[in-house]
Amino acid sequence: MRQYNFFTYILTNYSKKVLYTGVTNDLNQRLYEHYFGIDQKESFTSKYKCYYLVWFERHQYIDHAIEREKEIKGWTRDKKAKLIEEENPNWNFLNKEIMVWPPLFMGSSEE
């Protein structure tokens, strides 16, 4: 049976003051896109420089990942912090566990 991977994740900025919750099927690519602001120059993550991964969770089905994202987005910051601290008590940036960090710019996805 084919295994699918979808991720619900939480990013923060360098000072860890701002949190962003998202969902993707390619965490490596999504971190790259957040870091370089690809197709999202005016986005929340670009504005607040949220590209440091502090928590993620794998799901087999996209609907479960989206449901979890919506659930977390409805939480208070304190509740999100508790979730992060269950797996990552020091709020370490986890990007290097997923990809080369900082990433090298590979150019626009448009040719």
The 10s digit of each residue's pLDDT in 16-66 is: 999 999 999 999 989 988 888 766 678 888 889 898 999 999 999 999 999
Looking at per-residue pLDDT, the higher value among 29 and 86 belongs to 86
Q: Does residue 6 contact residue 62 with C-beta atoms inside 8 Å?
A: yes
Sheet with 19-24, edge to edge strand ranges = 19-24, 6-12, 52-59
pLDDT for the residue 45: 87
pLDDT at 107: 60
* Predicted confidence (pLDDT) per residue in 65-84, tens digit: 999 999 999 999 999 999 99
Rounded (10°) CA dihedral 92, 94, 95, 96: 100
